[in-house]
Structure 1
Amino acid sequence: KRNRFFTNLIFIPPISFALITNYILRAFGDHDSWRYNTDMIIISFSFFIVSLFKYGILHIRLNIHRLYWKQSMQSIFIGTAMLNHKLKNDISKLQLFCRRMEQYANEQHDNELLSNIQNIQEVVQHLQATLSKFQSKITFRSSEKKRENMEEVMEESISSIRHMLNQIQIETNYDSTIILYCDKQQFKEVFVNMILNAIEAMPNGGTIKVHFQESFRYHIIQISDTGTGIDKQTLPHIFEPFFTTKRAKSKNYGIGLTYCCYVVQQHGGFIEVESEKCGTTFSLKFPKYSFLK
Structure 2
Amino acid sequence: MKKILSLLMAFGLLFAVTACGTSEEKSDENANGGDGEKAEEVKELTMGFIPSQEADQIADNVKPLEEYLTEQLGVPVKAEVMIDFVGLVEGMRTGQIDIGFTNPFGYVQAKERADVEVLVKAIRNGSDTYKAQFIAAADSDLNSVEDLVAQEGLTWAFGDTLSTSGYLFPASKLMEMGVENLDTFYNQTAVGGHDNAVLAVLEGQADFATTFDDARDTLEKDHPDVKDKVKVIGYTDEIPNDGVSVRKDLPEDMKAKIKEAFLAINDNEDVLAVMTEVYTWSGIAEASDEEFDIVRDVYAKFKDQLEQ
Q: TM tier, shorter chain? A: under 0.3
Q: Structure with the greater relative contact order (CA < 8 A, sep ≥ 6): 1 or 2?
A: 2
Greater C-alpha Rg: 1
Q: TM-score by structure 2 length? A: 0.22
